[in-house]
Amino acid sequence: MVDLWDVRREYTQGRLDEATAAADPLTQFHAWFEDYRASDPLEPNIMTVATVDAQGQPWQRVLLLKAYDPQGFVFFTNYDSHKGQHLGDDGLACLHFFWLEKERQVQIQGRVEKLPRSDSEQYFHSRPRDSQLGAWASQQSRPIADRAALEQSFEAVRERFEGQQVPLPDYWGGYRVRPQRMEFWQGGAHRLHDRLEYVQNGEQWVKQRLNP
């Protein structure tokens, strides 16, 4: 057995207090996200997205958060991928942000909806052309014989769309996660961390502290 019992550190960077935390979780998320972004991490918008398949098996993968506002949190992907199959048109997802340098994590649970196609088109066309071609070349999450087959697929779509705008594939677009619960975690000394949970109750958010 590899024993990691002595691998440990104390978390001492800050406190999260219900008296000063924002009344709504989006404002709190924005404050923490901007604070993390200001520390100049390589990819500030990295998150883990969990979905559950038809057998109840949880899956997770890293995705990029591409937008957020009071409506929810947006990411883009292939609708035929594993996650797309789990989510369908209105599945449940859990987003997780882990900002080690700040000793913080944020968890967001909610129902997803597909973005209107016009919004996905707008984002798709803002991407570098090769990324747009990549969305055509990859049948995300399906088996493929080898790397060469993927590169041939990319070359084929490059030729196919030569000299024209790359259209948005039917199977590609955005999902918006509409939060129903959000939790903010700030590491504390002696493992006495601060946890604040916001739960949606009609139009209101109810905020409460949780035991660490």
Q: From the candidates 37, 160, 191, 209, which is the catalytic residue?
A: 191
144 is a site residue for ligand FMN (CB under 6 A): no
Amino acid in position 10: E
Amino acid in position 17: D
* Per-residue exposure over 37-47, b if at least 16 CB sit within 10 Å of its own CB, e if not: eeeeeeebbeb
Question: Shortest gap between Cβ of 190 and ligand FMN (angstroms)?
Answer: 33
Question: Shortest gap between Cβ of 138 and ligand FMN (angstroms)?
Answer: 9
Part in contact with ligand FMN (CB under 6 A); list of ranges 19-27, 62-70, 106-114, 152-160: 62-70
13, 59, 152, 212: residue in contact with ligand FMN (rule CB under 6 A)? 59
104 is catalytic: no
Q: Which is nearer to ligand FMN, 141 or 153 (CB)?
A: 141
46, 67, 137, 199: residue in contact with ligand FMN (rule CB under 6 A)? 46
Q: Three-class SS string for the chain?
A: CCCCCCCCCCCCCCCCCCCCCCCCHHHHHHHHHHHHHHCCCCCCCEEEEEEECCCCCEEEEEEECCEEECCEEEEEEECCCHHHHHHCCCCEEEEEEEEHHHCEEEEEEEEEEECCHHHHHHHHHHCCHHHHHHHHHCCCCCCCCCHHHHHHHHHHHHHHCCCCCCCCCCCEEEEEEEEEEEEEEECCHHHCCEEEEEEEECCEEEEEEECC
Part in contact with ligand FMN (CB under 6 A); list of ranges 9-17, 29-37, 81-89, 96-104: 81-89
120 is a site residue for ligand FMN (CB under 6 A): no
68, 73, 75, 205: residue in contact with ligand FMN (rule CB under 6 A)? 75
127 is a site residue for ligand FMN (CB under 6 A): no
Provide the mask over 169-188, with x wherever binding to ligand FMN is found by CB under 6 A and - wherever it is not.
--------------------
Binding site for ligand FMN (CB under 6 A): 43, 46, 59, 61-64, 75-78, 81-83, 140-141
Enumerate the active-site residues: 191
